[in-house]
Structure 1
Amino acid sequence: MTPALASPSPRLATPRALGGVLLLALAAFAVLGPWLIEADPAGQDLGASLAPAGGDYLLGADHYGRSLLARLAHGARLSFGMAFVTMATAAVPGVLLGLAAAWRGGWVERLADLASTIVLALPGLMLVLLLLAFAPGNFGPLYLGLALTLWVEFYHVTRAAAATVLKQPHVEAATLLGFGPGYVLRRHVLPVIAPLIGTLAAFAMATAIIAISTLSAISVGLQPPTPELGSMIVELLPYYAEAPVHVLLPAALIVLLVLGLQLVAQRSSR
């Protein structure tokens, strides 16, 4: 009997399915939560400072009496949105440059390699911090710095994978028969590299979420009262003894976001 080589491994499908369900649940919370939860994430009620879960506050309130449920929903939407925009901004030029370098070679590849080498010469967070120095606490420099750091991975993976595919006999035959770059890329190259790009995209989003939360936690990223998960942890940390669960909630949400992306990004090993 011929084994079904193309069938996905159950050991791989289960974690990826779990990651997909987790991400769908978190995405629904991030997208629908701000509309379903009527509480204002910036609305203060000092009489409800550090209120426990239950009653008027389902997940409790922070030290300013702001609804933690509302702030977590907005924080999840902010993290998802910024991570997706950062990933897309890094993926588009990285993939296009990788395809161009693999197809054309020569000076195109040399220029792209030089640009990627310059970026790699700087530590990733250093590049982000340099841009944040011009406008600390703003979204623009933060997202641009992360995108400039992440595009290199998309470029290198795309160039290597596309170059391998373009050297295969059936692809060379299609080129010799007069099929244009659009046909070759669409029918032969993109189907092969698409899973790799999807995996990179998930890892890039996870990296962006961690970086955004870390920079906000050290007060160089997004600043309070913006409901960002990293800054929420730092704001609540002095009150850990009185309300430990309040501090753990945004941290747990970051872990779940990154965990879901890492599970979805898993690839089968040959």
Structure 2
Amino acid sequence: MGPANRKPYLVVGLVLATTLGIVAAVGDRDPLHQDLMLALTPPSLRFPLGTDHLGRDVFARLIHALPRSIGIAMTSMVVAASVGTIIGLTAAASNRLIDAALMRLTDLALAFPGLLLAMVLAGLLGGGAVPVLVGISLAQWPQFARITQSIAATVLTEPHIESSRIAGLAEWRILLRQVMPRILPQTTALATLSLGGAVLTISSLGFLGLGLQPPTPEWGAMITELLPYMDAAPFQIAAPCVALFLTVLSCMAAGQRLAEVR
């Protein structure tokens, strides 16, 4: 691998190291501490991004919101990838009737807007991490089912698969040992690409008041809280917007890179 090919990994490593360093630096700063006497304080050495309308440290809230958003997004991708992969493998390894039924179910789920589904679930269940996670997972699994079924159906027609069956190898062993290694690179790239969309969905729900509930730090909720003070606190409201943009952009870039080298 030449220097040009190593650049993306060096950049990702540098970003991760910087992020961990920042998290460690502000780890002891309370993102929930309020001081109304310091409300809407402009950026300073004490408060690098200023304070919000309740006198809370915007920088501390911004950093503490990162693991929550990424954690929920990653968990939802794991759940969606697991469910979608199981359904896709089942469809590819079954007869035509079951295959067609599972794929029509997948098409039906794909036709339903993911953000709307997450909003409905979060609204019905009162918001919070679990409804958001379930909503994103339900919206994302059809993509994994589709790509898994497509790859598995092709692999299962190859001559070495038939040889394995003749040799008496169980179908589930064939799927695990010979089909899954062909699927994993594709699903990993798709999960990384979808991670940015999941983070954006979490922030969108937070913006609408259907995501993580106050006073929990969350980028979308931070934007909503600071909207009435946009003129007095431009840096404070810009901070979560920029953090969200960079996070989604990084996920998309990483996913694109994985797709290129699969």
Give the TM-score normalised by the residue count of structure 2: 0.88
Q: Distance in 2 between matches of 1:190 and 1:261?
A: 24
Higher relative contact order (CA 8 A, sep 6+): 1
- Is the 2:50–2:235 contact (alpha carbons within 8 Å) kept by the matching residues of 1? no
Q: How far does the alpha carbon of each residue in 1:178-200 deviate from its partner, in whole angstroms, 9 at most, with x for none?
A: 22234423332222111101111
Give the paired residue count. Answer: 260
Q: Distance in 1 between matches of 2:190 and 2:121?
A: 24
Q: Distance in 2 between matches of 1:111 and 1:211?
A: 29
The correspondence for 1:164, drawn from 147, 154, 159, is: 154
Structure 2 segments unaligned to the other structure (5+ residues): none
- Is the 1:9–1:268 contact (alpha carbons within 8 Å) kept by the matching residues of 2? no
- Is the 1:95–1:158 contact (alpha carbons within 8 Å) kept by the matching residues of 2? yes
Q: How far does the alpha carbon of each residue in 1:28-78 deviate from its partner, in whole angstroms, 9 at most, with x for none?
A: 368x54x85322211101111122223332332112111112211221011
The change in CA–CA distance for 1:25 and 1:168 in structure 2 (over 3 A counts) is: farther
Residue 201 of structure 2 is aligned to residue 208 of structure 1:
no
- Is the 1:230–1:250 contact (alpha carbons within 8 Å) kept by the matching residues of 2? yes
- Is the 2:226–2:236 contact (alpha carbons within 8 Å) kept by the matching residues of 1? yes
Identical-pair percentage = 35
Which residue of 1 is the match for residue 138 of structure 2?
A: 148
Which residue of 2 is the match for residue 58 of structure 1?
A: 48
Residue 260 of structure 2 is aligned to residue 268 of structure 1:
yes
What's the C-alpha RMSD, in Å, of the aligned pairs? 2.5
- Is the 2:49–2:235 contact (alpha carbons within 8 Å) kept by the matching residues of 1? no
2:31 partner letter: P
- Is the 2:110–2:143 contact (alpha carbons within 8 Å) kept by the matching residues of 1? no
- Is the 2:196–2:247 contact (alpha carbons within 8 Å) kept by the matching residues of 1? yes
2:86 partner letter: L
Structure 1 segments unaligned to the other structure (5+ residues): 1-6
- Is the 1:19–1:259 contact (alpha carbons within 8 Å) kept by the matching residues of 2? no
Q: Distance in 2 between matches of 1:197 and 1:117?
A: 18
Q: Distance in 2 between matches of 1:151 and 1:29?
A: 34
1:57 partner letter: F
Which residue of 2 is the match for residue 82 of structure 1?
A: 72
Runs (4+) off by over 6 Å: none
Residue 236 of structure 2 is aligned to residue 246 of structure 1:
yes
SS in 2 for 1:265: helix
Q: Distance in 1 between matches of 2:145 and 2:209?
A: 31
Greater mean deviation of Cα atoms: 251-260 or 135-144 = 135-144
Give the TM-score normalised by the residue count of structure 1: 0.86
Which residue of 2 is the match for residue 97 of structure 1?
A: 87
Greater mean deviation of Cα atoms: 167-176 or 72-81 = 167-176
Q: Distance in 2 between matches of 1:208 and 1:161?
A: 24
Q: How far does the alpha carbon of each residue in 1:244-264 deviate from its partner, in whole angstroms, 9 at most, with x for none?
A: 121111111111211221111
SS in 2 for 1:39: coil
The correspondence for 2:100, drawn from 110, 114, 122, is: 110
- Is the 2:62–2:219 contact (alpha carbons within 8 Å) kept by the matching residues of 1? yes
SS in 2 for 1:133: helix
